[in-house]
Structure 1
Amino acid sequence: MGKTTDTGMMAHALHEVGYTVRAWDADESEHLTQWSEAAGGFPFPVEKNATATFGTDVRPLKDGIDIADVGHTENHPHIADSVLKIADLAIVHMEPSMADWQRVTAPRTSTPIADMVARSAYVRPDRKAPPVWILLNRVRTGVKSAQEIRGMLRDDGWNVFSVMIPVRDDLKQATAFAVERASHGAFGELVTEMETKGLIKRG
């Protein structure tokens, strides 16, 4: 839930603190592209490639960060599989609810995300799957569900970011407007946490 909003805000936060960023719209809905167009263009390029050839088409930035907004894996596994061929980090956006817990950990009609990431190892040059981290999103202040779901995820072996994205009306409506000061607040804190954990690094 909220993956396009998270991706766009994260890309802006990275750009604001000095990273060279290129965003990829790897979702057939093209919501990230539409957001960029509605905002009069982002301060970094947004490219479209919602195909099963993403992993062979895209040449990653040499000294920057490519960030891809991928469609729901249960609906577009061919795109997710292709992105995972070259991804250095996979972030799962998840609302702290039992519905999203079930979708992420034990979906009934699609391949579990953990299995998709694990099988990517066979088509990667180093034969290692990328690290996976869960970002809890749309978190309500003072509600116990986020900590309960976080504990369940960790007990199940998942990496979970300490930073949580709050449920706020300005974030819900962000995809129609230009973005300012994305690095001030939760998304800036997320960038710092990723740097501290060695998940991203300058240069």
Structure 2
Amino acid sequence: MGGTTNTGLLTYALARAGHAVTCYDADESLQLLAWSREAGDFPCTVHEADTPAFADTVYPEMDHTRINVVDAGHAENHPDIVDSVLEVADLVILTLSPTNPDYERLTKPERGTALAKVIKRSAALRETGEPPTTYVLLNRCQAGAASPAKYADLLRNGGKDGTLPKWNVLSTQIPRREAIASAVGFPCDKRERRAPYDALVTELTQRGHLPTVR
């Protein structure tokens, strides 16, 4: 659902805002790592980190004075890696296109464990005993369409009948734009690739999940 694209463009935005950033590619496709090599202007180092031992081998070696961004693959494809990332993550951002197939894949997948359960069960492995703070980022939103508001309401309210897990949904939405969809592997030199992610950094800062850069 656009995870790597959003991870990369968020990383550019974090760097533009003055944050010291390091990335970890925990997706076996290693697209983020390849992007950092190909773009020419990628703002930080990307480390290969697609291991189910992430919490034990990668996390302890991080510089925790920096913003460490992890690109994780689909939980249904890499559950062992995702479980290990969730064990130590401070903040989880799930990207979701406002369409019924993507909504059902998040809430009632045909195969695999619903992501709400995956996140909830991570609490048993975490020092706090609580799952990580999690937000949904609506992605590929058509300008003027009713679908983003519709699916934001469904997510916040636990579905049509309120029986599904309730999600925190970010106010920032990533628009459906070719310049964003085609960003992987290329420089962040288009205005369309900047504005939504600068807004996302602002929102995360206002919500207290990023430090204020002085």
User: Shift of the alpha carbon at 1:21?
Assistant: 0.4
8 A contact 1:16–1:182 mirrored in 2 = no
Q: In structure 2, how many angstroms separate the alpha carbons of the residues matched to 1:175 and 1:28? A: 16
Q: Identify the structure with the greater strand proportion.
A: 2
Q: Partner of 2:201 in structure 1?
A: 191
Summarize deviations over 1:178-203 as a string: whole Å, max 9, x none: 22468841100000101111122248
Q: Partner of 1:62 in structure 2?
A: 64
Q: In structure 2, how many angstroms separate the alpha carbons of the residues matched to 1:12 and 1:54? A: 24
- 5+ unaligned residues in a row in structure 1: which ranges? none
Q: Partner of 1:11 in structure 2?
A: 11
Q: Partner of 2:211 in structure 1?
A: 201
Q: Partner of 2:73 in structure 1?
A: 71
User: Shift of the alpha carbon at 1:153?
Assistant: 0.5
Q: In structure 2, how many angstroms separate the alpha carbons of the residues matched to 1:187 and 1:41? A: 17
Q: Partner of 1:149 in structure 2?
A: 151
Summarize deviations over 1:159-194 as a string: whole Å, max 9, x none: 000000001111111112122468841100000101
Indicate the larger mover: 38-47 or 6-15.
38-47
Name the SS for the 1:160 alignment partner: strand
Question: What is the aligned counterpart of 1:169 among 173, 178, 182?
Answer: 178
8 A contact 2:41–2:188 mirrored in 1 = no
Q: In structure 2, how many angstroms separate the alpha carbons of the residues matched to 1:199 and 1:102? A: 28
Q: Partner of 2:100 in structure 1?
A: 98
Q: Partner of 2:161 in structure 1?
A: none
**Backbone CA RMSD of aligned residues:** 1.5
Cα distance 1:63–1:34, how it changes in 2: closer, same or farther (>3 A)?
same
Summarize deviations over 1:31-67 as a string: whole Å, max 9, x none: 1111111113622110011110011112332221111
- 5+ unaligned residues in a row in structure 2: which ranges? 159-165
8 A contact 1:93–1:135 mirrored in 2 = yes
Question: What is the aligned counterpart of 2:121 among 116, 119, 125?
Answer: 119
Report the TM-score, using the length of structure 1 for normalisation.
0.95
8 A contact 2:36–2:45 mirrored in 1 = no
Indicate the larger mover: 55-64 or 112-121.
55-64
8 A contact 1:17–1:183 mirrored in 2 = no
Identity of matched residues, %: 38
Q: In structure 2, how many angstroms separate the alpha carbons of the residues matched to 1:171 and 1:77? A: 27
